[in-house]
Amino acid sequence: MSKNVIQMEIPIFIFSIIIGLFGANQILNAASMSQNIPGFLPAVKILTYVSGVALLLAAVSFIIDRMARLAGYLLALLLLIIVFSVDVPGIIHAHSLAAKSLFTTNALKDTAIAMAAIIIGNLSKH
């Protein structure tokens, strides 16, 4: 069996920092970020803050490797909810090819990040 060239802690740490930055961005820019939440959901600004805090908590959980499996699964769930409540409707209702392309890219990115969160959760020692 070969050794990993890059130790798993390094990409997990970088992933966590990026997820934490996404969370901080959600919180610091809640007014503009809440405009992306579908109107049929209640209290969109509160949901924006809650998702930002969830991202920050997942990042911390991954870094300290405490409850990381749960955090990974919950982060994946949050991201897949975003895919199906924001990205897919955006693709369907886009009025331009550029907007459709942006929503498609975001759906693919969010899905990939969700799968990475599951992998990180499964790698957790605790």
Task: Domain count for the chain, please give it.
Answer: 1
DSSP code string of 50-83: HHHHHHHHHHHHHHHTSSHHHHHHHHHHHHHHHI
User: Percentage of residues in the chain with pLDDT exceeding 90?
Assistant: 72
Does 2 map to a domain? Answer: no
Q: What is the pLDDT of residue 74?
A: 97
Q: Which domain holds residue 35?
A: 9-123
45-84 confidence digits (pLDDT tens): 888 999 999 999 999 999 999 999 999 999 999 999 999 9
Does 3 map to a domain? Answer: no
